[in-house]
Amino acid sequence: MKKPKFRAWDRKKEEWCFDFRLHPDGTIMNAEKSSHNNGLEKWECSKEREDKNGKNIFSGDIIRDNSGAIYIERLFESAKRIKEPTNALTDFLWEEIIGNIYENKKLLK
């Protein structure tokens, strides 16, 4: 079993932060700074699996599979499909991360 990985979205820098702490009040804090107001929000956990390119799949990632379906990965719920399959599944299923809900909002439309 793989050790889960975590990331938090930095809305100020518009990039992922992988080195952060959760404060007892629920605030996400950059491990390098002690300030609560550092722009970090919405921490996510990896799903302990990888896409066809070896990238860790996190909740919030937008995934395309070989059936043509596109969906949003979620941590505690079933994935939310945003595009129906366009072709039949083969015996071998692959998934590919094509974005995430923060950096690629156009994919959600």
Tens of pLDDT along 38-79? 778 778 888 778 899 999 888 889 998 888 888 888 876 777
Whats the size of the chain, residue-wise? Answer: 109
CB of 58 within 8 A of CB of 45? Answer: yes
Tens of pLDDT along 92-101? 678 899 998 8
82 burial (CB, 10 Å; 0-12 / 13-18 / 19+) is middle
* Structure tokens belonging to residue 107: 């994919």
pTM of the model: 0.73
